Chain A
Amino acid sequence: MTRALVTGVGAITPIGLTAHDFWSNLRAGQSGIGPITCFDASDLPVRIAAEVHDFEASHYMDAKEARRMSRFAHFAVAASQMAAEDAGLEIRDDERHRAAVAIATGSGGAIETMDQMEVMRDRGPARVSPFYIPMMAPNMGACQVAIQMGLRGPAMASVAACASGLYSYMEAKHLIDSGRADMVFAGGTEAALHPLPIAGLANMKALSRRNDEPTRASRPFDAERDGFVFGEGAVVMLIESEEHAKARGAHVYAELAGGGLSCDAFHITATREDGSGAAEAMQEALKASGMVANNIDYIAAHGTSTALNDASETLAIKLAFGEAAGRIAISSPKSMVGHLLGAAGAIGALTAVMAIHDGIAPPTINLENPDPACDLDYVPNVARKMEIRAAAANGFGFGGQNGCVIFRKPAV
């Protein structure tokens, strides 16, 4: 069977408009969280977010095409084009049917629904945009990438709440393993910053209300954590079959070894407190990758900074990895970029890949006073240089969706 290799990385994030800028700021412990600027949040209980600033869609695509896409699709197209460029990939016309897309999202173009509802209410149904449906549909992140880049293999968009991004790497692995594709642009994208989801999540008590200290608001595994921070952005990585990558002499960041999924089958939003559902996904990922707990040196945790997640994820890691859990470096990118929802799993995957590639575990920032229920090694506040043979990325979503994907150093 062929191997699935990561040969290109692209990202639009609150801490960098390329994957490499994201990674260097992540290593440096740079927070991308600040006051909400894209709308007036003054009457909301939560007035902070991890926004993407200075993004110009027209830098990455034709201005007319950009006008027909929602922001989540802009991010997907930009990140995919950067992944192709980073990989040095020029797709030939005779291999377009061998190029696939798997780009997940949590809510797609939900902001278009909210805006067009206002148009219909204020100006009547005749004024609703004919682009509303193709801008809103959650598959349009993946399909716009296919359209803009001429990728004629399968285009997929998993909907798995905050685990969505990881599902894309499962799809990519299947597409490469089954021989259906040689190239898969895989990742997640999210751009749903709007008062409505902020209000809904705030009323669930899921969001941090540390409005006066935005950069300290996301504090996974810390005793003073009070919820996650809403974020936006996208990550897309090019997953390529070993034969295809070798034939063109591609640089290989890491190998996508395998992944595992499970569902808590428990509650609409709460995780199983004993972590058994999430542990199942991690164990399945190890099994699918042909690895054991001792092979894993780093975990990019889901680590949302909510009371429930961080404690149950800690239990899940202990359940899945046993005694090895104590020696694995674990950190949460969300401490810096907030929670990118449908793109969060892809942020974790990119973090795992770069950690392996550069031999660096990025920090969990704001970890000042660890919660006694969170007693593993979360790489507090300062990045650590270390050999990372293999790394896992965790992602869990409302509905009880659990995902874990494992990457490893490419065989030389």
Chain B
Amino acid sequence: MATVFERVRDVVVAQLKVQPEEVTLEANLVDDLRADSLDIVDLTIAIEEAFADDAEIEIRDEDAENIHTVQDIVTFLNEHGLS
């Protein structure tokens, strides 16, 4: 079973068209993975959909404001019962 990080990494690679090795926990979505504000909204929708079968999660605008790195996404998912 893939870890939460591995599943997040796959979504980030698919949405941002980056190389898997670029997607580290520390990677900043804007500075390192070249996302713009639209990409981040698109990414949060894709994360919600990718984890929809595990839990009914919703990344609200105020949550998204605190998401800067891949670690932030993983932490958000951990806090919502996904590990």
| A residues in contact (CB < 8 Å) with B | 62-64, 67-68, 123, 126-127, 129-131, 134
Contact = CB atoms under 8 A, between A and B. Distances in A.
B17 A130 contact: no
Contacts of B49: 123, 127
Contact of B48 (A64, A67, A127, A129): A127
A133 to B, nearest CB: 10
B45 A67 contact: no
24 contacts: A62-B17, A63-B17, A64-B16, A64-B17, A64-B34, A67-B15, A67-B17, A68-B38, A123-B49, A126-B45, A126-B48, A126-B58, A127-B45, A127-B48, A127-B49, A129-B42, A129-B45, A130-B38, A130-B41, A130-B42, A130-B45, A131-B38, A131-B42, A134-B38
Contacts of A67: 15, 17
Contacts of A129: 42, 45
A122 to B, nearest CB: 12
Contacts of B48: 126-127
Contacts of B58: 126
A295 B42 CA distance: 56
Contacts, number: 24
Most interface-central of A64, A67, A123, A130 (chain B CB within 10 A): A130
Contacts of B45: 126-127, 129-130
A67 B42 CA distance: 11
Top 10 A-B residue pairs of the complex, sorted by shortest distance between their CB atoms: A64-B17, A130-B41, A63-B17, A130-B38, A130-B42, A127-B45, A131-B38, A131-B42, A129-B42, A64-B16
Contacts of A134: 38
Nearest to A66: B17
Interface residues of B, number: 11
B30 to A, nearest CB: 14
A60 to B, nearest CB: 15
Contacts of A126: 45, 48, 58
A125 to B, nearest CB: 11
A63 B17 CA distance: 6
A64 B17 CA distance: 5
Nearest to B43: A130
Nearest to B18: A64
Contacts of A131: 38, 42
A129 B40 CA distance: 11
Contacts of B34: 64
Interface in B41-74: 41-42, 45, 48-49, 58
A63 B34 CA distance: 13
A290 to B, nearest CB: 49
A131 to B, nearest CB: 6
A126 B57 CA distance: 12
A127 B57 CA distance: 12
Interface in B9-47: 15-17, 34, 38, 41-42, 45
Nearest to B14: A67
Contacts of B42: 129-131
A318 B15 CA distance: 56
A63 B45 CA distance: 19
B50 to A, nearest CB: 12
A144 to B, nearest CB: 14
A134 to B, nearest CB: 8
Nearest to A127: B45
Given A64-B34, A67-B15, A68-B38, 16 more contacts: A62-B17, A63-B17, A64-B16, A64-B17, A67-B17, A123-B49, A126-B45, A126-B48, A126-B58, A127-B49, A130-B38, A130-B42, A130-B45, A131-B38, A131-B42, A134-B38
B10 to A, nearest CB: 15
Contacts of B38: 68, 130-131, 134
A68 B42 CA distance: 10
Nearest to B58: A126
B4 to A, nearest CB: 21
Nearest to B59: A126
Contacts of B41: 130
Contacts of A64: 16-17, 34
B34, B45, B49, B58 — most chain A CB neighbours (10 Å): B45
